[in-house]
Amino acid sequence: MPEIGDDVFYSTISELNAKLRAKEFSAVELTRAVTARLEKLGPRYNALALSLSDTAIKKAKEVDDDIKRDRWRSPLQGIPFGAKDLLSVKGQPTTWGAKPYAGQVFDHDATVLKKLDKAGAVLVGKLAMVELAGGGGYRYAAASLTGPGLNPWDRKRWSGGSSSGSGAAVAAGLVTYALGSETSGSIVTPAAFCGVTGLRPTYGLVSRYGAMALAWTMDKIGPMCRSAEDCGLVLQAISGGDSNDPGSAGKSFYYAPQFARKSAEIRVGFAPVDFAEWVEPATRPAFEKALAALRETGVQMVETKLPELPYAPVTGTIISAEGSAIFEPLIKSGKVDDLADKRQIAGLKAGLEIAAKDYLKAMRIRATVQQEMRKLFTDVDLLLAPARYGVAPKIEEPLDRRSPERPTPKNRGMNAIIQAGNLAGLPALTLPCGFAEDLPVGLQLVGRPFSENLLVAIGREFQGRSDWHRRRPGR
């Protein structure tokens, strides 16, 4: 068996595809190496929910048979990946990160996993997550069946929620890419904290059939990868209409870098106050360098800010009402008390008390948010903001901890872009952009609906001028 070292574990999809084509190693050899690494190191970061090594090796053998016959199905063929444990795998436990569902088994595969299987991708494991994807709200990183997600850059720090295992596994070189999900920040946050590239797709572009529901009108599934290009390759494979998902947009995504617009034609809206005042002081030098690198791509930087609307309360009301309705059987049975986080237990119970008039009012304000975001995009092509305004917190810290010594800026800038983007169903790309206190920080680009090709194109340009996405923990 050829030696498979760290360079392979941290390779991009395209790089691994080239090695498989050159027969530097077989898909089975790659899969055996990756599953061994995932089983050994996954628990170190509380990132592994379930190893699927047996089925992965079986799939890799099928891939090798195809390669021998020179049958190439997609760039993902033979590439090992992991999936957040809210995606069902037929006959295997799907715990949703929560004790009450520890023995849950489905008789079908999630649509996204079927699509990746058809593309020849190799699923090597299910990855840990915050219980119920954070439904009801949680206060501590330990709100998970597998324990707090530990950051590969510093295991005293959080890997981010709720796709904690997906972010950590990609950052630690345990999988080439992973699927996560986002309702309000669950791809953006772990991607930023772990220093990986994450893509939240437009609402409805990727089927959620076979995925745990948290909020029917806001849930999205997307990739977390080494590079923007990798995100484009994975999104092409998992996108598409699905009659099993009532929220499906009936659209597909085709990664087409050859048709990318010139950077000089792209107008990027940003708020200087985000980078000067909202971000933590220790992160400001990193963000200044990142802004300079983005300007070098040639894009036009345009000052703007979000309209004054109650993004956070509206987001909270919708997710709480829909989430508690979804988990009503759990709540009514009393098994909700088996969850790890007391605030989450209380939040799920409280969500059942939200009045219909309050939910409907939130949905009407949401329509206004969508209208205002459309107006904002008449002047710019993309919006830019810090993915998170600080580095990953320590795992024992309450996640709602405030910094009392820092005054709140008078200008809100883009600091509610995660809530605004999710309310409007907009796509976002998170890009590693530097380090503060030896921990990663990231930018996020947000686009119009179905503008993923533009996001990936600018992401590629940015990553072509920097190596932050190439950095590895411990090096």
- For the chain, the straight-line distance linking the first and the last C-alpha, in angstroms and rounded, comes to 27
Cis peptide before 162 (omega within 30 of 0): yes
- Cα–Cα–Cα angle for 227, 230, 236, nearest 5°? 145
Rounded Cα gap, residues 102 and 86, in angstroms: 12
**84 in active site:** yes
Beta bridge pairs of residue 222: 180
Q: CA dist 97 to 81, 146, 150, Å?
A: 19, 7, 15
Rounded Cα gap, residues 46 and 150, in angstroms: 6
**Active-site residue identified among 11, 74, 144, 162:** 162
Radius of gyration of the chain (CA): 21
DSSP 366-428: HHHHHHHHHHHTTT-SEEEEESSSSPPPBTTS-TT---TTSPPPSS-TTTTHHHHHHHTT--E
**Active-site residue identified among 26, 186, 207, 324:** 186
DSSP 256-321: -GGGPPPGGG-EEEE-HHIIIIIS-GGGHHHHHHHHHHHHHTTPEEEE----S--HHHHHHHHHHH
**332 in active site:** no
DSSP tag of 344: H
**88 in active site:** no
* Amino acid at position 155, single letter: R
Coil, helix or strand at residue 180:
strand
DSSP 44-89: GGT-EEEE-HHHHHHHHHHHHHHHHTT----TTTT-EEEEETTB--
Beta bridge pairs of residue 225: 197
Coil, helix or strand at residue 450:
coil
Residues 252-291 as b or e (16 or more Cβ within 10 Å = b)? ebebeeeeeeebeebebbbbebbbebbbbeebeebbeebb
**Active-site residue identified among 19, 84, 115, 126:** 84
Per DSSP bridges, beta strands 197-200 and 177-182 are: unpaired
What DSSP element (H or E) covers 199?
strand 197-200
**Residues with a known catalytic role:** 84, 162, 186
